[in-house]
Chain A
């Protein structure tokens, strides 16, 4: 199974963290349902061209947080996550996406009000103009 994960060459975010947050994203959005089998550490490392040290770290963190479970000799599986921690994670992932975007906008030399204008324009396009009324 190939997971829709990509490691960015232009992000200072450590690779294990990129893998971790993208896997979380797949789980809370329901693309990875509870019980799904994750690729082995070696197989995912090969797909993403990273080392098993990195992938293992991502898996270990996810396991510590209860997102996945490794059964010796059987593989790694997606856990059932309760709504509360789903919501929490959603917020965390969302704010880290926004933080990254804001950083990029700052790098472009945008002021806050310019960025706000762009942001709301983009929101209007994607969600439809009436959303905020």
Chain B
């Protein structure tokens, strides 16, 4: 059964100083994906291409099992996008006025849901959008993205600049959103805690290229610090030894399953095992690229 909310094949877009793609990815319902990469790696370009704010040079994007033509306006109805300061052009409007405008774009706009969210995040609707703080703008974009009941949420740095309490509430919101098995989220973020708590898959983007697609728990279980009772120099050449430290003897491996039998054969005992933090693994993967 081929079931997807998004299927992207060989997507490219060339800018004067930046080449994006070719990118091949797919998003299945029920999943949360973290889109990770350094500044300028192409995360926002990715979202803009998916939102059809940019036209790609080549390749194509299929939405919602390919049932809708990519020009079909219903595609945008079913996507919720927050990012890239979408509303700055309307900065002189109050938040309420802005909501009235956004509401007009979406057939499924749920005014009750919108009010609930605005109350939950204590947004003063009389405030001009442009005068709102960075964090408040993020929350407003987040609320707008959710208030029309999308199937696919695209969130570009939703938590950056947002206070701790609101960020927790947003996480709960996203978990509730995912109770519908047909929903999915793609989330670009630098915040390790949110990636860990929310995401199932990780896409690693570097200089416009997708350098890796990982199942989050699988890399967490595969990479490890291993303390060893002895550490022959030959171990340095092992393809799955990423780093070696002496005093005390400790290695980092990117594949526990691959290295364990070799250690056993060499008569080396693992005296302690510890998982790496996700950001340590991601840093190592990015450095390797």
A residues engaging B (CB < 8 A)? 9-12, 14-15, 40, 42-43, 45-46, 49-54, 107
B175:A43 contact, CB within 8 angstroms:
yes
B221:A14 contact, CB within 8 angstroms:
yes
With A51-B200, A52-B31, A54-B217 as contacts: A11 and B273 at CB distance below 8 Å: yes
Q: Least Cβ distance of A46 to chain B in Å?
A: 5
Q: Least Cβ distance of B84 to chain A in Å?
A: 26
B residues engaging A (CB < 8 A)? 30-32, 171, 175, 178-179, 196-201, 215-217, 220-221, 224, 256, 271-275
Q: Least Cβ distance of A61 to chain B in Å?
A: 15
A98 to B40, CA, bound (A): 51
Q: Least Cβ distance of A79 to chain B in Å?
A: 22
A49:B273 contact, CB within 8 angstroms:
no
A51 to B220, CA, bound (A): 11
* A to B contact number (C-beta, < 8 Å): 45
A23 to B256, CA, bound (A): 26
Chain A residues positioned under 8 Å from B171 (CB to CB): 46
A42:B221 contact, CB within 8 angstroms:
no
* Contact sample, A vs B, 6 pairs, CB 8 Å cutoff: A42-B179, A45-B200, A49-B196, A49-B197, A50-B217, A52-B30
Chain B residues positioned under 8 Å from A42 (CB to CB): 175, 178-179
CB nearest neighbor in A for B226: A12
CB nearest neighbor in B for A57: B217
B217:A15 contact, CB within 8 angstroms:
yes
A15 to B196, CA, bound (A): 14
A46:B215 contact, CB within 8 angstroms:
no
Task: List 6 additional contacts besides A42-B178, A51-B201; criterion CB under 8 Å.
Answer: A11-B273, A42-B179, A46-B197, A51-B215, A52-B200, A107-B272
With A40-B179, A46-B175, A46-B197 as contacts: A51 and B273 at CB distance below 8 Å: no
Q: Least Cβ distance of B192 to chain A in Å?
A: 10
A33 to B224, CA, bound (A): 37
Q: Least Cβ distance of A69 to chain B in Å?
A: 18
B175:A53 contact, CB within 8 angstroms:
no
Chain A residues positioned under 8 Å from B216 (CB to CB): 50-51
Q: From A10, A40, A46, A50, give the contact of B273 (CB < 8 A).
A: A10
Task: Identify which of A43, A51, A52, A107 gathers the most chain B CB atoms within 10 Å of its CB.
Answer: A51
Chain B residues positioned under 8 Å from A12 (CB to CB): 224, 256, 273
B198:A46 contact, CB within 8 angstroms:
yes
